[in-house]
Structure 1
Amino acid sequence: MKNIIYICLLALFIYSCGSGRSRDFKDRDATNDTVRIANDSLEYEIIIIEPGFNLFINSYARPRGYHTQSYLENKNQFLVTEYNTRVMQPQTYDPNLYINQINYDPNINYGYEVNYLLYNYFVFFSRHYNQRFSVPTRI
């Protein structure tokens, strides 16, 4: 009887430590995990549809302003090249992961937000799917 009371108190303590919002992400609609960035004047659009990406960007990614735009642009140039190479080699890389090529032109100024989200998508992608990109550490 004494052990049951301790177990109940421990369970109550653990339950009370949780936040008030729901942590059940399994039944979330995929539209909640869609990130769309568009600029009609430059005629570009990025749509990221990946379950869990919004949670990652809001909870685990480094905050905006942590990296400079030039740092993100340099990293994205290498990451997009590597990603597109894998898209073109479905016999070597999983075609279910590498579906579409990314059209990223390093001569276009996409702005900080696009580069920030694209870079963090690659961070999320590499962690979530356990993929390694051969990106130089120093640019």
Structure 2
Amino acid sequence: MRLAILLIIIGFLSLTNCAHQVFKNQPDTESNKLTFKPDENGEYDIIVFDPQYDIFLKTHARPQNFQSHEFYKNRNRFYVSIWNQRHMMPSVYNPDLYAVSIDLDPNIEYGHEFEYKLYQFFKFIEWKYRVRFI
């Protein structure tokens, strides 16, 4: 009888302890927000520090002019939206993969090459980490 009461008390305490855990989203600070700034020529560029990205561009990516500028621009807005949603849910999605939010202003014209490289970055993430954005 004592054992049953003790088990019930331990079970109740463990349940109430779990109910009090609060998951906090990572705050958006400058350290975990990716923003794009133009260079001295007014052009935007993306640099990916993963050496496999360059290999992916050469072996898997389609040519830059395969799709229109509007296609890349619209698809990137969609991908950025999904990326930022996943960034805000670190308890559901891998916080190491979605460590930074992406600040992409839809009112800024980034240029065809930038939009292409950003699009290919998302395709690279899908390929390397086997995640799906669509």
> What is the CA distance between 1:44 and its match in structure 2?
5.1
Structure holding more helix per residue: 2
Bigger radius of gyration, 1 or 2?
2
For residues 65-84 of structure 1, the aligned pairs below 5 Å read 65-84=65-84
User: Once the 2 structures are TM-superposed, how far is the Cα of residue 92 of structure 1 from its aligned partner?
Assistant: 0.4
Change (3 A) 1:132 1:84: same
Higher relative contact order (CA 8 A, sep 6+): 2
Is residue 80–residue 104 contact of structure 1 (8 Å, CA) maintained in 2?
yes
* TM-score, scaled to structure 1: 0.64
> 8 Å contact 1:38–1:46 — kept in the other structure?
no
C-alpha separation in 1, matches of 2:108 and 2:133:
23
**Cα distance, 1:105 vs structure 2:** 1.0
Match of 2:22 in 1: none
Shift of 1:113: 0.5
Provide the identity percentage: 38
**Shift of the alpha carbon at 1:103?**
1.2
State how many pairs are aligned. Answer: 98
TM-fit CA distance, 1:40: 3.2
Q: Partner of 2:119 in structure 1?
A: 119
- Following TM superposition, by how much is the alpha carbon of 1:45 offset from its aligned partner in structure 2, in angstroms? 5.2
Q: Distance in 2 between matches of 1:130 and 1:76?
A: 18
Residue 128 (structure 1) aligned with residue 128 (structure 2): yes
C-alpha deviation, 1:109, in angstroms: 0.6
1:57 equivalent in structure 2? 57
CA RMSD after TM alignment = 1.9
Matches within 5 A, 1:1-139: 39-40=39-40, 42=42, 46-134=46-134
C-alpha deviations, 1:61-109, integer Å up to 9, x for none?
0001001000000000000010011111100000111111111111111
Distance in 2 separating the partners of 1:59 and 1:87: 29
**What residue in structure 1 maps to residue 26 of structure 2?**
none
Deviating 4+ runs (over 6 angstroms):
none
Shift of 1:39: 2.8
Q: Distance in 2 between matches of 1:83 and 1:130?
A: 14
Structure 2 length normalisation: TM-score?
A: 0.67
